[in-house]
Structure formats: C-alpha cells, structure tokens
C-alpha cells in the first residue's frame, strides 16, 4: 500500500466521517458505550424450553392442554420435550456463562411448583429445580431476572377460576408470596406477569392462544382489569413483606410495538398513532406508572362505542378511587418487550361486532422499507425502538427502562449462519444506544430474546429466535452457538459499540449501519456484517481498505474469529 494512496484514502475517510456525524439520521450509525454496570441479558420462558411437562409431579398448564389437543400449530408441535432444559440445566448454564451475560431472564412454571395452582399441592422437586438454576446462575455471577407468570396458567385453575374471575387475584398473590419467600434471598429482580396484553387479547379476544376464548369486545377488558389488580397486589406483598429484608425490585413486562403515524403532518394520524400506543402499552402502563387509571383514549373510545352499541355502561371496567391508589406506582422500573414497528393511520371502524380491535379506530400497515423476518408481521424497523424509548420517557416521567425482550425470528433451518439476526441486534442495540446517549433516556438493561431456539408458541418449531441453535431431531437437544452469539458476546464485552484509538484518533470499531448480506463482503468472508444496504454507505470499504492490512488478525475481525 503506497503512502500517497493511503493519504488519499484518509482524506476520503475524513470526508465520510464528517458526513457521517453531521448528517445524523435514523439510518446513521452511532458509536459509543452504555453506562457502567449496564445489565446485558438474555431470555427464555418455562414452557418454551423446559419440557418435562409431567415430570416429577408437575401439573399440566393451559399450554400443555392446548398443544396436546389443537392442530393449529405447525407440525402439531408442543412443549412436551422442547429444549429439555428441565434435564439439561448444566448445558443452559454453560451457554450463559460462555456468553458472559450479566443477567438471565427466565420464568417459573407455576404448575411445576404448585401442580394444582395452589400452595397445598406444593411440589418440592419443582422448587428444587429452580433452586439449582438460581444457585447455578449466582455461582457464575449472573443475575436471575425471574418472571413469575409467563402465560402457562395451571390447568386446574383455568378449570375453576379463569382470569375473568376476581378470585384469581388472591390466588396469584399467594403464588407470588411463595416465590418471594422461597427464592427472594437470591432473586432481586422480579417480573410478575409477561405481556398481559397478549393474555387479554390473544387468549380472550382473538382466542388463538389458550384458554382460546373468542370474546373480543368484552372479556379482554375484564381479564386485563384482573391482571392489573393481581400485579398490584403482588407488588404490595413484596413491598410490605419482603422488600426491606431482600432489597430487590419488582415490575411487569409490557409488550409494545412502536406506532409511527402514516403522515406526521396530519394531526389526525398523529393522534391515531398515539392512540395505538395507548391501546397496547398504555392499557397497562397508564394505571401502573401514571395515575392508577386507564388512558383517556381508552376510556373515551370504549365508552363512546359502548354507548352507541346500547350497553348500559362502558365495556371498559372502571377502578374505584381506592383501587387507583392501590395500583398507581406499583413498578420499580419500566420493563418493555419490543419487536417491531407499525405504520398507523386513522379510520372509523365498524361498530358491530363489538371488539377491542374496532374500539381502536386506526389501522396498521407494515413499514415498506424494512427487511422482513421469518414472522410475516414482524419487520425489522430498528429506529422504532429509539422512538418507543423516547415516548416512554416522555409519557411516564423518565423511568428507568429495561428492554426485557428484543429479538428476531429466522427460519428453523438456520443453524449457525444467522447474519440476519446479527444485523437485527446491531441495528436495534444501536438505536437503544442513541436513545441513551443522545436523547438521555434512562436505559438500564437490554435482554436479547432468546437464549436458544425453542417452542415458539403458535409458530411451534418453524422459526427460532435463539442465539443458539437447538437440534430438535437429536434426543440430546444439542445446542450450538450461532454467529449472533459471538456478536452479542462482543457487544457485551465492549459494553456497546466503542471507538478504538488509532494513532490517537477515535475510529469506529464497527461498521456503518449495514444490511445483512445475501452475498458476502470481499474482505471479510462469510459473516458479512459489513455489506452496504444501498449505494450510499461505502464508509466501511474505505475503512477496511486502510485498516485491513494492519488489523486483519486483530480487533476488526474479532466478531467472527
């Protein structure tokens, strides 16, 4: 490489960097790191990975009953064996340790601990399993983040009570109380319920998930009402009985897509997008994080429609003043699960049949310019995460935020070469970094979904979210790290996307924001992180032309070494 050529390239590079940093927009890449002590984690949930569905006294859950009887799941798949984590604890711990994650978010199977859902049926072997898991994590210095209830309600409770009955509130509280008392000496981060919006809408509105109730206009609101009260009660139990001695924190994991107005210059569209945020996230977050009550958008929409539909009162139940005070402020941090962004515009929806979905008065479309994934309505729209985090900051008064799920599906046949997932994490984590560093959002942790390919609910084993591949045809359920595991390991090691010092100058360690490739880059064969999305991002190639001779065996290629 001749000196003159290098000087020229440096000049072009400087020009590129100037453009890069002055013209900052949503496609630009931001270099920097998260605060010290940032909680880098990875997630799973009991029904998706454990298997052992009736082992050692475990009772059935509604997901056992559903999957064993329905034929709506591809290949009639179920979680009977799944990743067999119930018998492969050491393998799971090994993967977690190798990734060097700071936290592991997993869930407790309620019916493994209480086979009939209540304390009188306590199954000590189930408790022992979670004790081994928690102790193993702590031995490796990994913080357990424990979801108490991730959709797998004990079948015995479903038969008698169901979430549309208020009795469930005390029953859930007693289960939580037991968990705090039993595991709380070591668990310092509790999540009461995972995605209550999914339970309410998919379980009781659409009816495509268990308990498969199709009552879209009424039951989702009743169920959500009880879930909110159940969460609040468990929070107070922790607060009153355990917080002082155990010193942990407790929250609820809420799912939120970002709703982008179709046309930001039209007020009605902006309002519709905000309404979309309120109907999905605000339904739960507004009572818990704001004032103990539902957002105005919900009260207004459902109230009005109910009146026109001839109901004597709103289909949206209301909280008493006492209940509002009880619910308000019942989360120590904000936990959000995020996957995608929707483009939202106003419509006037039909009145009949009455439905949560028609109460919205908006329609959702996919974002045109974004890559598709193995799940049709989950496009990769990374910039939506930054907007979502900013919206949460504004709406709920700058809470500490943990992204408790974020990840992407690839086809099950994807084994180790998951460059689409690498692109996803690269882009989404960078948007979280922008929210933290540039916008001042208090992002405290990021949890990638998921530790390994597992039972993906209604998609069975057709798709995988894992950073590890699991061979489901192998009785050993062998686990293999994918490229994304190596990539995530490096992000954790670097605490983000730092600059490196080269002759005293800060240079980006990673490339410009690029799309995962279909063909590979000239210089860095198969991982392809560096390929450009379109003709505008040649920065990497220039960087490489200069640095590769010097760094080829060094840091710049660490991702795939």
Active-site residues, by number, are 405
Is the Cβ of residue 361 or residue 420 nearer to ligand NOJ in the bound state? 420
Q: Are 338 and 330 in contact (CB under 8 A)?
A: no
CB of 365 to ligand NOJ, least distance (A): 21
Q: Are 501 and 16 in contact (CB under 8 A)?
A: no
CB of 289 to ligand NOJ, least distance (A): 20
Which residue in the set 465, 483, 488, 530 belongs to the binding site for ligand NOJ (CB under 6 A)? Answer: 465
Residues 333-362 that bind ligand NOJ (CB under 6 A): 337
Q: Does 404 bind ligand NOJ (CB under 6 A)?
A: no
Residues 364-393 that bind ligand NOJ (CB under 6 A): none
What is the C-alpha to C-alpha distance for residues 289 and 201, in angstroms, rounded to an integer?
A: 21
Q: Does 195 bind ligand NOJ (CB under 6 A)?
A: yes
Neighbours of 180 (CB within 10 A): 22
Is the Cβ of residue 448 or residue 521 nearer to ligand NOJ in the bound state? 448
Is the Cβ of residue 458 or residue 523 nearer to ligand NOJ in the bound state? 458
Which residue in the set 31, 41, 45, 180 belongs to the binding site for ligand NOJ (CB under 6 A)? Answer: 45
What is the C-alpha to C-alpha distance for residues 396 and 382, in angstroms, rounded to an integer?
A: 22
Helix axes 89-99, 483-494, angle to 10 degrees: 50
Binding flags for ligand NOJ, 46-85, as an x/- string (CB under 6 A): --x-------------------------------------
Q: Does 257 bind ligand NOJ (CB under 6 A)?
A: no
Q: Which range of residues in 95-103, 240-248, 449-457, 494-502 is near ligand NOJ by CB under 6 A?
A: 449-457
Question: Site for ligand NOJ (CB under 6 A): how many residues?
Answer: 10
Q: Are 425 and 527 in contact (CB under 8 A)?
A: no
- Nearest to residue 430, comparing CAs of 106, 105, 24? 24
Q: Are 328 and 230 in contact (CB under 8 A)?
A: no
E runs forming strands in 209-261: 249-255, 258-261
Is the Cβ of residue 198 or residue 390 nearer to ligand NOJ in the bound state? 198
Q: Does 194 bind ligand NOJ (CB under 6 A)?
A: yes
What is the residue whose two structure tokens read 């050491």? Answer: 90
Torsion of CA 299, 300, 303, 306, to 10 degrees: -130
Two structure tokens written together for 159: 């038969």
CB of 82 to ligand NOJ, least distance (A): 12
What is the C-alpha to C-alpha distance for residues 329 and 347, in angstroms, rounded to an integer?
A: 34
Secondary structure tally for the chain: helices H, strands E = 20, 19
Residues 210-249 that bind ligand NOJ (CB under 6 A): none
Q: Does 109 bind ligand NOJ (CB under 6 A)?
A: no
What is the C-alpha to C-alpha distance for residues 537 and 97, in angstroms, rounded to an integer?
A: 36
Q: Does 123 bind ligand NOJ (CB under 6 A)?
A: no
CB of 513 to ligand NOJ, least distance (A): 24
Q: Which range of residues in 70-78, 448-456, 494-502, 540-548 is near ligand NOJ by CB under 6 A?
A: 448-456
CB of 463 to ligand NOJ, least distance (A): 8
Sign of the CA dihedral with 235 first, then 240, 243, and 246 last: negative
CB of 63 to ligand NOJ, least distance (A): 11
What is the C-alpha to C-alpha distance for residues 258 and 280, in angstroms, rounded to an integer?
A: 10
Is the Cβ of residue 105 or residue 315 nearer to ligand NOJ in the bound state? 105
Q: Which residues bind ligand NOJ (CB under 6 A)?
A: 45, 48, 194-195, 337, 405, 449-450, 456, 465
């Amino acid at each position: 490489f001749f000196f003159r050529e290098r000087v020229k390239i440096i000049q072009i590079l400087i020009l590129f960097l100037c453009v890069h940093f002055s013209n900052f927009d949503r496609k630009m890449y931001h270099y920097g790191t998260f605060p010290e002590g940032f909680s880098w984690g990875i997630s799973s949930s009991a029904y998706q990975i454990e298997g052992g569905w009736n082992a050692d006294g475990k009772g059935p859950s509604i997901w056992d009953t559903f999957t064993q009887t329905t034929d709506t799941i591809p290949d009639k798949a179920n979680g009977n064996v799944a990743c067999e984590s119930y018998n492969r604890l050491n393998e799971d711990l090994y993967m977690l340790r190798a990734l060097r994650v700071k936290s592991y978010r997993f869930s407790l199977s309620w019916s493994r601990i209480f086979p009939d859902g209540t304390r009188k049926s306590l199954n000590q072997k189930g408790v022992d399993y979670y004790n081994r898991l928690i102790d193993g994590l702590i031995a490796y210095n990994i913080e357990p983040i424990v979801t108490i209830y991730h959709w797998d309600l004990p079948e015995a409770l479903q038969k008698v009570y169901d979430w549309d009955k208020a009795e469930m509130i005390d029953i859930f509280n007693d289960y939580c109380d037991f968990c705090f008392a039993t595991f709380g000496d070591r668990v310092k981060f509790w999540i009461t319920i995972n995605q209550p919006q999914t339970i309410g809408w998919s379980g009781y509105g659409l009816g495509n998930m268990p308990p498969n109730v199709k009552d879209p206009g009424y039951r989702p609101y009743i169920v959500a009402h009880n879930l909110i009260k159940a969460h609040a009660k468990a929070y107070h139990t922790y607060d009153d009985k355990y917080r002082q001695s155990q010193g942990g924190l407790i929250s609820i994991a809420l799912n939120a897509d970002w709703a982008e107005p179709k046309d930001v210059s039209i007020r009605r569209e902006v309002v519709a997008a905000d309404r979309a945020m309120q109907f999905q996230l605000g339904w739960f977050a507004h009572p818990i994080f704001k004032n103990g009550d539902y957002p105005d958008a919900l009260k207004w929409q459902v109230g009005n429609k109910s009146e026109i539909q001839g109901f004597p009162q709103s289909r949206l139940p209301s909280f008493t003043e006492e209940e509002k005070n009880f619910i308000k402020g019942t989360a120590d941090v904000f936990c959000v699960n995020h996957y995608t962004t929707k483009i939202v515009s106003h419509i006037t929806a039909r009145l009949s049949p009455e439905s949560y979905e028609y109460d919205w008065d908006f329609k959702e479309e996919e974002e045109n310019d974004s890559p598709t994934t193995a799940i049709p309505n989950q496009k990769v729209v990374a910039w939506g995460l930054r907007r979502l985090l900013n919206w949460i900051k504004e709406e709920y008064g700058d809470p500490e935020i943990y992204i408790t799920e974020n990840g992407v599906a690839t086809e099950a046949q994807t084994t180790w070469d998951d460059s689409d997932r690498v692109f996803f994490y690269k882009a989404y984590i960078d948007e979280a970094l922008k929210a933290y560093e540039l916008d001042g959002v208090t992002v405290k942790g990021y949890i990638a979904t998921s530790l390994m390919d597992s039972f993906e609910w209604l998609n069975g084993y057709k798709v995988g979210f894992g950073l590890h591949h699991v061979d489901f045809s192998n009785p050993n359920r062998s686990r293999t790290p994918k490229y994304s595991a190596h990539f995530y390991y490096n992000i954790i090691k670097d605490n983000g996307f730092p600059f490196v010092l080269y002759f005293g100058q800060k240079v980006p360690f990673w490339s410009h924001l690029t799309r995962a490739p279909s063909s590979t880059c000239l210089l860095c064969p198969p991982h392809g992180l560096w390929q450009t999305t379109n003709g505008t991002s040649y920065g990497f190639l220039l960087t490489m032309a200069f640095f590769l001779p010097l760094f080829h065996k060094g840091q710049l290629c660490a991702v795939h070494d």
